[in-house]
Amino acid sequence: MRQEPKTVSGSSRGLRATQGAVLDVENLYLYFGATTGVVRAVDRVSFKLNHGRSLAIVGESGCGKTSLARAILRLLPRNVDTYKGRVLVDGNDVMKFSEERFRREVRWVKISMVTQAAMNSLNPVLKVGYQVAEPLLLDHRVGKGDAMERAREVFQTVGIPEAFLQRYAFELSGGMRQRAIIAMALVANPLIVILDEPTSALDTLTQANIMNALKKIKKDLRLTYIFITHDIATSSELADEVICMYAGQLVEHSKAERFYREPLHPYARMLMASVPTLRLDKKPEFISGQPPSLINPPQGCRFAERCPRRFERCQEEPPLFTHGDGLVKCWLYERD
């Protein structure tokens, strides 16, 4: 049996504040069954997020970002091996809800999600306005007239001309389709919106337009965002705080000001140094080696093999240490 590391709880202010947490994730696991073994995509992740904050989740492809979002929203594939932990939304432990109650009270209603490449999954035979209203029509939450009225409102919020309500997806540009997907995520007035790589499939100019729209929406609606991206530069425009994931685990949770200036975890430092646009004075550096397999990850620190600062202690799995107002899963911070 592997020993579970002890989580060192942080200070009562800042990132670990319990009061006002709109989302509180505790020891969340999501493993998948595969032919070659069990994939530990989300491996004991804990974090808290306060109302109105914007959290960026960063990390290389395959580190578990999408799986974490799916675990929060209980959007699970058939091959789930392990799914456990606590997810408190506005103080309610929604993991205890039946699937029916979760669908009725949580998904789309409290937390909505713009999934990766969702803009390409709009239904080609339904008018866009109707599709945006659809989350409201599930379970007959509201009548069709009110739902369409609300769709009209959110079209305005995201900056789509009203006439587009009557159009089909193929008649919209990529940027407009992405706005329609964001409108759909907003239509039921959720507390939290999860955006999974919302701009990756778009050209640079459209990306910038969508980012600006997202910023404005956040300010106007006082939403809580969870913004997933492998693109650090994009995330820096929107984030109040940052979680960095590595090989299925949370390795750092810091306020954005600190993270983009000087991250704590050696992996996060290397990730930042690999971003060309943020450090114009420096050449981007590359992180050599590959992340470990999630099927049989190493026993100790999962980054140790690639880490320039590894020492003996790293053979053991580090807990999350508090450092200032950040949290970091690295033995270098043991004595702080």
Residue 109 or 193 with smaller CB distance to Mg ion = 193
Whether residue 194 contacts residue 69, with contact meaning beta carbons closer than 8 Å, is answered with: yes
Identify the DSSP state of 176: H
Contact 330, 316 (CB under 8 A): no
3-state DSSP percent of the chain in helix, strand and coil, to 5? 35, 25, 40
CA geometry: angle 74, 216, 218, nearest 5 deg: 35
Cβ proximity to ligand ADP, 112 vs 116, nearer residue:
116
Is residue 80 classed exposed, middle or buried when 0-12, 13-18 and 19+ CB atoms within 10 A define those classes? middle
Q: Cβ 37 to ligand ADP, closest distance in Å?
A: 10
Least Å distance, CB 228 to ligand ADP, is 7
CB of 294 to ligand ADP, least distance (A): 5
| Cα 154 from Cα 334, distance rounded (Å) | 48
Site residue total, ligand ADP (CB under 6 A): 15
Residue 69: C-alpha distances to residues 107, 126, 191, 336 (Å) = 12, 27, 15, 31
CA distance 201 to 182: 14
Angle between helices 204-221 and 144-158 (to 10 degrees): 120
Which residues between 23 and 62 bind ligand ADP (CB under 6 A)? 32, 34, 39, 41, 59, 61-62
Nearer to ligand ADP, 65 or 323 (CB): 65
Q: How many whole angstroms separate alpha carbon 190 and alpha carbon 187?
A: 8
Residue 268 touches ligand ADP, criterion: CB under 6 A? no
Sign of CA dihedral 16, 18, 20, 26: positive
SS3 243: strand
Least separation in angstroms between residue 163's CB and ligand ADP is 36
Pick the closer one to ligand ADP by CB: 169 or 194.
194
Site for ligand ADP contains 77 (CB under 6 A): yes
Handedness of CA 21, 224, 49, 247 (dihedral sign): positive
The residue within the footprint of ligand ADP, chosen from 16, 44, 48, 65 (CB under 6 A), is 65
Out of Mg ion, ligand ADP, none, what residue 259 binds, judged by CB under 5 to 8 A for its kind, is none
In the bound state with Mg ion, the residue whose beta carbon lies nearer, of 64 and 129, is 64
Write down the least CB distance from residue 80 to ligand ADP, Å. 8
Min dist. Cβ of residue 226 to ligand ADP (A): 13
Q: Which of 66, 224, 234, 249 binds Mg ion (CB under 5 A)?
A: 66
What tokens were used for 98? Answer: 């039946």
Binding of ligand ADP by 66 (CB under 6 A): yes
147-176 binders of Mg ion (CB under 5 A): none
Q: In the complex with Mg ion, which residue's Cβ is closer, 16 or 74? A: 74
Per-residue x/- mask for ligand ADP, residues 294 to 323, rule CB under 6 A? x-----------------------------
Which parts of this chain interact with ligand ADP (CB under 6 A)? 32, 34, 39, 41, 59, 61-67, 77, 79, 294
